[in-house]
C-alpha cells in the first residue's frame, strides 16, 4: 500500500502546483472584473479542481472487489487525466512565456495564446480516443514467404486477433459482435487468438460467448492464454475459487469452439503436406508468473539434433513478444511467432512510413512484423498484433483495434 500512497501523494502535489500556477494566471486575468465576478470565477475554478482531485482519491481508495468496480474507476481515472494533461500543457507554455520577464520585466502570454489552444485540442483528442477511437477497426494485410512453406499452403490465409479485454465493455457486445463479423468476412483458413480475452476474471467473457462462438474458419479457431486470463489480478477468497475461475476459462473457450494450445501443438494438413501450429501459455516476465513451456509444447525444440532436422514450417502462438526476443529467435528454428500484449500502449503517432508509440521504450517488438537471425544463421519472424481492446484506460488514439490477415507464400529455394 505504501507505493500507491507515495504515487498518489506525488500526483496530488504536482496537481496542486499546476492548479496554483493556473489560479495565479486567472487571478491576474480577472483584475479588470468586478470583485464579486472575480470571486465567482476563482471559486468556480477551485470547485472544479477539488472535484477532479476527488476523482483521483476515489480511484485510489474505493474498494476494488469484483469486476463491477473496475469500469467506473477506469473512467474516473481517465477523466482526471483528460483534465490534467491539458492543464500541464497550459502551465508549461505559461512558464516559458514568463522567462523574458527575468530580463526586461515583460512576459509573453504563451499560456493563453499557445498553451490553451493546444490543451483544448489535446482534451478533444483524449475524448475522441475514448469514443470513436476505441471503436475503430483496422485490418492489416501481410505476407509470410518461406521455402519451408509447402506448395499446398501457398495462399493459406490466417487471421490473428489479440487482447480483446472484453471486461472493459461490461455487457455491451456491439463492438465485439462487429469485430467478429469483420474477421469472418475475410474468409480465413485459420483463426488464431493470442491471449488476454478478459481483464481480471472469467465471468467477464460470459456476455460475449454468443458473439465469439460465431468465429468461423476452415481449420478452426486456436487460442492461447495471456497474462490477464489467469485471474492473477483478482483478490480471490480462496485458492479453490482461483482454480475454478481458470478451469471455467478453459471450459468456456472449448464451448465456443476454440481449441486452446496450452503448451501443446497440432499439425495443419493440406493434401499430403503439413505445417506445425504451436501454442504456449503466457511466458511471463517478473513479477508475472511463468506458465509458458516451449519444450513441452513442441518437444523437439529441446533436442538440438532432432530440431535441426525438423524442416516443417512452424508457427508459434505466444502472448508476450519478449518470449520471441529472448528465447525463440535465439534458440529455435520456429519460423513465425504471433504475439500481442503490448497494445502499442493504445497510442500511435504515424506519418507515411514513420511510426511512434510510447510502447517502443518498453518493447523492442511492439507492433507489426519484425525479423531476426539466430547466432547459427536461422531466420525468424514475429508479428505483434496491437490488440482490439483496452486495459487500464478506455481509449485508443491512432492505434485502431487490429485484425491481422497473414497470407502464407511458398518461396522457391
Q: Within 10 A of 37 (CB to CB), how many other CB atoms are there? A: 11
pLDDT of residue 262: 94
Q: Tell me the DSSP string of 73-122.
A: HHHHHHHHHHHHHHHHHHHHHHHHHHTTHHHHS----HIIIIIHHHHHHH
Are both 147 and 181 inside the same structural domain? yes
Q: Say if residue 299 is in the same domain as residue 255.
A: yes
Query: Is 117 in the same domain as 151?
Result: no
228 and 355, same structural domain?
Answer: yes
Last residue of a domain, one of 115, 131, 147: 131
Domain final residue, candidates 131, 162, 190: 131
Residue-level pLDDT at 37: 65
97, 81: one domain: yes
pLDDT of residue 106: 81
* Structural domain that includes position 365: 137-410
Provide the domain count of the chain. Answer: 2
- pLDDT for position 94: 93
- What confidence score (pLDDT) does residue 73 get? 86
Residues 129 and 118: their CA atoms lie apart, in Å, by 16
Rounded CA-CA distance 220/190 in Å is 6
Same domain? For 348 and 262 the reply is yes
DSSP 262-331: SSEEEEEEETTEEEEEEE----PPTTS-----HHHHSGGGG-HHHHHT--S-EEEE-S-HHHIIIIIHHH
Same domain flag for 246 and 353: yes
Last residue of a domain, one of 131, 152, 169: 131
pTM of model > 0.85: yes
Enumerate helices (H) and strands (E) in the chain, giving the number of each.
Answer: 13, 14
Whether residue 216 sits in one domain with residue 106: no
Together in a domain, 261 and 345: yes
> What pLDDT shows up at residue 108?
86
Assess whether 38 and 90 both reside in one domain: yes
What's the CATH code of the domain at 403? 3.60.21
Q: Which residue numbers in the chain have pLDDT < 50?
A: 1-3, 67, 305
**Same domain, yes or no: 257 and 400:** yes
Amino acid at each position: 500500500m505504501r507505493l500507491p500512497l507515495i504515487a498518489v501523494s506525488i500526483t496530488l502535489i504536482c496537481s496542486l502546483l499546476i492548479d496554483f500556477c493556473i489560479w495565479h494566471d486567472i487571478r491576474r486575468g480577472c483584475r479588470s472584473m468586478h470583485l464579486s465576478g472575480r470571486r465567482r470565477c476563482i471559486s468556480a475554478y477551485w470547485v472544479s479542481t477539488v472535484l477532479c482531485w476527488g476523482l483521483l482519491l476515489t480511484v485510489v481508495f474505493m474498494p476494488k472487489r469484483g469486476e463491477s468496480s473496475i469500469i467506473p474507476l477506469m473512467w474516473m481515472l481517465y477523466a482526471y487525466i483528460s483534465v490534467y494533461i491539458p492543464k500541464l500543457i497550459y502551465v508549461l507554455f505559461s512558464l516559458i512565456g514568463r522567462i523574458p520577464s527575468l530580463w526586461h520585466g515583460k512576459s509573453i502570454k504563451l499560456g493563453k495564446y499557445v498553451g490553451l489552444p493546444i490543451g483544448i485540442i489535446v482534451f478533444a483528442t483524449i475524448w475522441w480516443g475514448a469514443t470513436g477511437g476505441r471503436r475503430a477497426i483496422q485490418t492489416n494485410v501481410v505476407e509470410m514467404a518461406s521455402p519451408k512453406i509447402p506448395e499446398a499452403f501457398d495462399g493459406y490465409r490466417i487471421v490473428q486477433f489479440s487482447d480483446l479485454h472484453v471486461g472493459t465493455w461490461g455487457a455491451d457486445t456491439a463492438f465485439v459482435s462487429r469485430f467478429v463479423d469483420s474477421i469472418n468476412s475475410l474468409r480465413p483458413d485459420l483463426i488464431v487468438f493470442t491471449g488476454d480475452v478478459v481483464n481480471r476474471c472469467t465471468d467477464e467473457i460470459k456476455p460475449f460467448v454468443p458473439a465469439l462462438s460465431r468465429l468461423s474458419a476452415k481449420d478452426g479457431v486456436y487460442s492461447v492464454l495471456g497474462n490477464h486470463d489467469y485471474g492473477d489480478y483478482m483478490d480471490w477468497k480462496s485458492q479453490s475459487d482461483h482454480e475454478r475461475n481458470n478451469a471455467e476459462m478453459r471450459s468456456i473457450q472449448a464451448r465456443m469452439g476454440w481449441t486452446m494450445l496450452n503448451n501443446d501443438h497440432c499439425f495443419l494438413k493440406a493434401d499430403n503436406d503439413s505445417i506445425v501450429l504451436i501454442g504456449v501459455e503466457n511466458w511471463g516476465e517478473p513479477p508475472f508468473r511463468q506458465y509458458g513451456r516451449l519444450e513441452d509444447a513442441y518437444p523437439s525444440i529441446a533436442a538440438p539434433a532432432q530440431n535441426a532436422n525438423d524442416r516443417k514450417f512452424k508457427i508459434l502462438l505466444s502472448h508476450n513478444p519478449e518470449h520471441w526476443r529472448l528465447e525463440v529467435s535465439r534458440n529455435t528454428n520456429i519460423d513465425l511467432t504471433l504475439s500481442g500484449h503490448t497494445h502499442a500502449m493504445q497510442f500511435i503517432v504515424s506519418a507515411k512510413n514513420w511510426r511512434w508509440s510510447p510502447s517502443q521504450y518498453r518493447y523492442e517488438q511492439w507492433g507489426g512484423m519484425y525479423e531476426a537471425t539466430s547466432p547459427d544463421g536461422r531466420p525468424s519472424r514475429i508479428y505483434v498484433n496491437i490488440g482490439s481492446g483496452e486495459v487500464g484506460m478506455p481509449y485508443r488514439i491512432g492505434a485502431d483495434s487490429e485484425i491481422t490477415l497473414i497470407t502464407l507464400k511458398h518461396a522457391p529455394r
